[in-house]
Structure 1
Amino acid sequence: MSNLTKIGVIGAGNVGAAIVNALVLRNVGKEIILFNRDKDKAVAETMDIDDTIPLLSEMTIKATNDYKDLAKCSIIAVTVGARQKEGETRLELLDRNAGIIKDIIKNLDKYAPNAVLLMVSNPVDILTRVAQEATKRDSNKVFGSGTVLDTSRLRFQVGKELNVNRKNVHVHVIGEHGDSEFAVWSNAIIGSVKLKNFPLPENIKLAQLKKKTMKIVKNRAYEIIQKKGYTNYGVAVAVVKLIQSVIRDEKKIFSVSVKANEEYNLEKGTVLSLPCTIGNQGVEYRLNVTLNKKEKNLLQKASKSLSDAYKEIKA
């Protein structure tokens, strides 16, 4: 599929601007629309990023505060919302952001009804559900960035510990994009060898490897926020990978925020991160992952936590 595609990004904050910059650097799309209520902020960001284009591939970036300019976008990434504060969990952001998302979806249904919507705002799993409930478009066209970055972080750390390329590490982080996320270690494969059978370096036990790598993954965002106040570059590239898979119909598998299949036997309507095939129509196939008893319990716990939080929304 041609990559001469119109892409929208809502929110010119740290994450939204980083996504636009990553789209330009990776040459994804041809026309990018950066929407922000404060148009001057969007203009400033687009001007700054636009200065990189003469050194890269040709594309067009436009700043706007008019939803009409998002018409005919193939995919729109939604990044707006209150910033996560130091020590604040993603779930605590919920009430502050749900009302904002509902208003955005109403406008997108009016001006860009056919676009795939990629939710990035935190807490992403619940706000994806808010967006799915608010929109008139098919639910497969609304999904969240989920644990794509968390999975990437884990694969990198496991590869580092085992001294193998991260691309040969096949393991997914699923559940909540947050404190209750977990790795599906029972299905982990290194190359074509199950992790439990893979030769470990000296003085490293499998239980220690799992605990160490997941601790790094879970604490990473909190550590970055503590030191600089927000995260943006990692999630931006993760989002661009998802956008690319949609507009180029790559059908790659990512752990994204979706409604779980009935086979998981979770709280009805719960949205959380699970492996899916991402293509031109958004979520094209939701995979049924085989879990062991411990992993099933962890997923059910995450589902209940997210469902309970969703029910408390006042916006």
Structure 2
Amino acid sequence: MITIVGAGRVGVAAALFMMLRELDDILLIDIIEGKPQGEALDLAHAAAILGLSVDVRGSNDYRDMAGSDLVVVTAGFPRKPGMTREELLAKNAGIIAGIADNILEYAPNSVVMLTTNPVDAMTYVMYKRLGWERRRVIGFSGVLDAGRLAYYASRKLGVSPASITPVVIGMHGEAMLPVPRLSSVAGIPLTSLLTEEELREVAEETVKAGAAITQLRGYSSSYGPGAGLALMAESVKKNQRRAFTASVYLDGEYGERDVVAEVPVVLGGGGVERILELPLTEEERRAFHESCSAVRDLVKRLPRELLER
């Protein structure tokens, strides 16, 4: 069973995409009475209409997540217009710590994915609070950032986004690092296909994409995260061992330790099967370290009691 903690826009979008791919039965959990039950009932009706063999339920009780082998955490305060991901830090850290305690009690054998912002710092909180091996705690970020890079580059190149292999690493936020030199179309680097000005515009649009969506519609993105979470969940549930960019705890990779950052990984049945190290230039490596430092700065602001049980 897949448990999704948080029946807001991202959680429901993730449930919808997972349901459409028939990954497993789905449980929506939320603290608002009636909210997860109503969303689940609507999704269950959609499943019946489409002829999908998926059971979707809602609950306000964490005990119902018992037996889940995948827990997806989308709960937390949403990002509002003008608000940075970093400003969400204090509000969401306590929520993640509480959810971690419930996962420990009711789904101790699960793989955990989370998308609560600022996701790199929240993934660090979840990892430390759970005390598990790092492969089972995965932050969702890079799939969204990479998809956005592919979208904006495709608009300039006149090709399908599916033709682009995008690379974005570092922090999910204003300090993220798009890497056009390693992003390509049919093996041709974007640096050979776009001008310096075009590359700058693509990188800027990628970094500011989330803020643009929030400003335009008054709340943060949901369909993009929902779609990406479904793909990552599918790779875990079906042991596909597909490569994605995700936020994971680093222990020596890229010369970094005790920090969470988005890097390419292989996702399989046990979670992160392998961390892939990119051949970065000195300039790119320096920018990556600066991005990791930005994550560390966030973590330093966290009360230490949230990182321990």
- TM-score of the superposition, structure 2-length normalised? 0.93
1:303 aligns with 2:295: no
Aligned to 2:211: 222
**Corresponding residue for residue 246 of structure 1:** 236
Is the contact made by 2:251 and 2:258 (CA closer than 8 Å) also made in structure 1? Answer: no
**Post-superposition offset of 1:234:** 1.1
Task: Give the whole-Å Cα distance in 2 for the aligned partners of 1:93 and 1:73.
Answer: 28
Q: Answer yes or no: is the 8 Å Cα contact 1:177–1:273 preserved in 2.
A: yes
| Deviation at residue 237 of structure 1 after TM alignment | 0.5
SS at match of 2:258: coil
Match of 1:76 in 2: 71
Q: 2:254 aligns with which of 249, 259, 264?
A: 264
Residues 116-148 of structure 1 show CA distances to partners (whole Å, capped at 9, x for unaligned) of 000110110000000000003221100100221
Give the superposed CA RMSD.
1.5
1:55 maps to 2:55: no
SS at match of 1:125: helix
Contact 1:109-1:136 at 8 Å conserved across structures = no
**Superposed counterparts of 1:191-206, under 5 Å:** 191-197=186-192, 200=193, 205-206=194-195
| Distance of aligned partners of 1:228 and 1:188 in 2 relative to their CA distance in 1, 3 Å threshold | closer
TM-score normalised by L of structure 1: 0.92
**Structure 2 equivalent of residue 39 of structure 1:** 33
Further displaced range: 181-190 or 245-254 = 181-190
User: What is the deviation of 1:258?
Assistant: 0.6
Structure 2 residue aligned with 1:143 = 138
Q: Which residue of 2 aligns with 1:232?
A: 222
Identity %: 29
The 4+ residue runs of structure 1 with deviation greater than 6 A are: none
Name the stretch that deviates more: 156-165 or 103-112. Answer: 156-165
Equivalent pair of 1:78/1:118 in contact (CA under 8 Å): yes
CA distance in 1, matches of 2:53, 2:19: 9
Give the counterpart letter for 2:77 in structure 1.
A
2:120 matches 1:131: no
Output the CA distance in 2 between the equivalents of 1:189 and 1:260: 26
2:255 alignment partner AA:
N
Alignment of 1:63-142 (within 5 A): 63-142=58-137
1:278 to 267, 270, 273: 267
Match of 2:148 in 1: 153
Which residue of structure 1 lines up, in the alignment, with residue 21 of structure 2?
26
Q: Which amino acid aligns with 1:129?
A: Y
Contact 2:191 / 2:199 at 8 angstroms: preserved in 1?
no
Q: Which string of whole-angstrom CA distances, capped at 9 and with x for unpartnered residues, describes residues 235-255 of structure 1?
A: 111111111111011111111
How far apart are 1:261 and its partner, in Å?
4.5
The equivalent of 1:3 in structure 2 is: none
8 Å CA contact 1:275–1:287 kept in 2: the answer is yes
Q: Secondary structure at the match of 2:34?
A: helix
Say yes or no: does 1:167 pair with 2:167. Answer: no
Corresponding residue SS for 1:167: helix
User: How many residues are treated as equivalent by the alignment?
Assistant: 302
Q: How far, CA to CA, are the matches of 2:178 and 2:57 in structure 1?
A: 39
**Offset at 1:96?**
0.7
Query: What is the letter of the counterpart of residue 292 of structure 1?
Result: T
Letter in 2 for 1:300: H
The more displaced of 186-195 and 111-120 is: 186-195
Question: What SS does structure 2 have at the residue aligned with 1:270?
Answer: strand
